[in-house]
Amino acid sequence: MTDPALPVPAAPPPAASAAPPPVGDVADRAAAGFRHRYGAPAAGRWAAPGRVNLIGEHTDYNDGFVLPFALPLRTVVAAAPQDGDRWTVWSELSDAVVEFGADEVAAPGRVDGWAAYVAGVVWALREAGHAVPGARLAIASDVPLGSGLSSSAALEAAVLAALVDLGGLDLPAEARPRVAQRAENAYVGAPTGIMDQSAVIRCRAGHALFLDCRTEAVEHIPFDLAAAGLAMLVIDSRAPHRHADGEYASRRTACEKAAGLLGVPALRDVAAVDLDDALARLDDDEIRRRVRHVVTEDQRVLDTVALLRAGRVGDIGPLLTASHASMRDDFEITVPEVDTAVEAALAAGAYGARMTGGGFGGCVLALVDADRADTVADAVAAEYAERGFRAPGFHLATPAPGAHRL
């Protein structure tokens, strides 16, 4: 049940409901899709992973700290140049082809659906002054959609890597997350922070990415669970995303308002030792709780990094669980399915557990003894059945590399 080679089947988008699930290696599927669709082999293939965030939730757009790592689940783009300002994109998910040209990437919002992420990357690159080559692309993916594992950032990063290489563009890896984020924020219209794009582009195998979201400085922190006899169980809560976009935006607005009331550029500038003073200066209880989450969460990231640097990976469990409580009680972004998964995992012996990602569904991480992963998974599945929830999905997560050419 927890074999990492057996990804949870993606919740299919509506257009794909009649299509059979993809089989075979994702890189082979992208290459075969390209050949079949365009009648010639691709010039290359580029992969970008999904991600989970070990800790540091809703801190990125507050200029704070995050600690994600990349997953072995990947999106792969097979691509080749084509003449003129034309982009032709096929995706296995809908088995559809979308074509667009200079008009559609002259301004945001002119392409919608999944292809908006591709058009958004072309638009953002052109906005940044790059001569983007026309291209044919074929997309295959093992990153489940709508599970909070950053399928959209994976798509953006793989397309970006392909276009940069095909066009010989001068865009170093550390500058790519901002371009991909701009595609998502301005073209697609989702007001996300910089974490997901940074994770799927800059992560390294075997490491978590300690990212300062203000300076974009990174440190690759060794994260070797197996050496400690541990495993990270990823539980797909399968909760429907209820109003997630509006709730995300409202949390972001509340944080910006709080920073303004406190007279700081961002909530990152409230140190944990000054939290009580800051809270005493705020009248609104909801705003106080939002601030408390962000400030304590930044500190939990720093504490987690300190433990990992000291080789104490087995001791981070309580920080994960405290992060979950803070998201549940102060930031109010959890839902019954994820709370149930966390509680059941802890009751079955997990050292720590928390929701990962933006909230209102998505996945839960549980730090477990490697030889107890199945037991914990079974306990979560049993509790889900008891409560009448849709059956959860399971993966084992090992830190994988960020976007790269295959």
Using CB under 6 A, pick the residue from 58, 202, 292, 324 that binds ligand GLA.
58
Of 51-59, 171-179, 200-208, 258-266, which segment contacts ligand GLA by CB under 6 A? 51-59
**Catalytic residue selected from 85, 142, 196, 330:** 196
If the CB atoms of residues 62 and 94 are measured against ligand GLA, the closer one turns out to be 62
Whole-angstrom distance, CA of residue 120 vs CA of residue 97? 16
| Cβ-closest position to ligand GLA | 358
Rg of the Cα atoms in the chain = 21
* 298 makes contact with ligand GLA (CB under 6 A): no
| Distance in Å, CB of 281 to ligand GLA, minimum | 25
Binding status of residue 358 toward ligand GLA by CB under 6 A: yes
Cβ proximity of 114 and 55 under 8 Å: no
Nearer to ligand GLA, 65 or 384 (CB): 65
Instruction: Compare residues 196 and 298 and give the one whose CB is closer to ligand GLA.
Output: 196
**112 phi and psi angles, rounded to 5 deg:** -125, -175
Count Cα atoms within 13 angstroms, Cβ side, for 281: 14
85 binds ligand GLA (CB under 6 A): no
Q: Which is nearer to ligand GLA, 194 or 350 (CB)?
A: 194
Site for ligand GLA contains 357 (CB under 6 A): yes
Amino acid code (one letter) for 316: I
Residues sharing a CB contact under 8 Å with residue 115, sequence separation 6 or more, in sequence order: 89, 91, 98, 100
CB-side exposure of 146: number of CA atoms within 13 Å? 14
To ligand GLA, the closest distance from the beta carbon of 292 in angstroms equals 16
Contact in structure between 46 and 161 (CB atoms under 8 Å): yes
Answer positive or negative: Cα dihedral of 10, 16, 18, 20.
negative
Q: Is 196 a catalytic residue?
A: yes
- 156 near ligand GLA, judged by CB under 6 A: no
Question: The sheet that has 68-81: what strands, in order across it?
Answer: 96-101, 86-91, 135-141, 68-81, 44-53, 404-405
Q: Give the number of residues in contact with ligand GLA, rule: CB under 6 A.
A: 11
Query: Both ends of the chain: CA-CA distance in Å?
Result: 29
Q: Which of residues 184-223 bind ligand GLA (CB under 6 A)?
A: 192-193, 195-196
> Among residues 323 and 398, whose Cβ is nearest to ligand GLA?
323
Q: Among 27, 30, 45, 57, indicate the residue that binds ligand GLA (CB under 6 A).
A: 57
Q: 84 by DSSP, 3-state: which?
A: coil
Q: Is the CB of 53 or the CB of 141 nearer to ligand GLA? A: 53
CA 161-166-170 angle, to 5 degrees, is 70
Nearest to 187 by CA among 272, 131, 76, 110: 110
| Among the listed residues 60, 236, 337, 383, the single contact to ligand GLA using CB under 6 A | 60
Residues that bind ligand GLA (CB under 6 A): 53, 57-58, 60-61, 192-193, 195-196, 357-358
What residues are annotated to the active site?
196
